[in-house]
A = this chain, B = another copy of it.
Amino acid sequence: MKMSTRGRYALVVMIDLAKNYNTGEYLSLKEISEKENISLKYLEKIMMLLNKAKFLDVSRGNNGGYRLIKEPKEYKIGDILRVTEGNLAPLKCLGKSGECSKRTMCETFPFWNGLYKEINEYVDSKTLEDFIG
């Protein structure tokens, strides 16, 4: 039940961008990777996920980098984590048809689904704004 570095790093990057939001300037991955001590190349891959989700305003080339496309309070942490980690269901079969041939397993479905709901409610109750200032 661990969150991988993808989700954790994504949150860190998004917080950095949120802190930079009011300046209106682009923040490069080089700056972020040096400040946060995270591999530049690995960050690039994570940014692709965030970019595909339309979270970012990107500028390539000299003095380029990333900016948030919306205000920090518009980004729910849950959205950031789901984009980088996949859904936050504690079991694969949640939200699927669930062919598992485990008799008693299906009796535990409501329990796991309840946990899923708690997790989603928590991560969706916070936004990037909660991490700045």
Min distance, Cβ A29 to any Cβ of chain B, angstroms = 14
Copies in the complex: 2
- Asked if A114 meets B122 with Cβ closer than 8 Å, knowing A1-B1, A1-B85, A90-B1, the reply is yes
Contact A38 B118 (CB under 8 A): no
Q: Is A44 in contact with chain B by the CB < 8 A criterion?
A: no
Known: A1-B85, A3-B1, A91-B2. A131 touches B118 (CB 8 A): no
Which secondary structure dominates chain A's binding surface?
A: helix
- Contact bitstring A118-133, B, C-beta under 8 A = 1, else 0: 1100110010001100
Q: Mark A1-37, 1 if CB is under 8 A from B, else 0.
A: 1111001100110011000000000000000000111
Of the 9-residue stretches A45-53, A54-62, A64-72, A99-107, which lies at the interface with chain B?
Answer: A99-107
| A12 in contact with B85 given A111-B77, A114-B122, A131-B111 (CB within 8 Å) | no
Beta-carbon nearest neighbor of A121 in chain B: B118
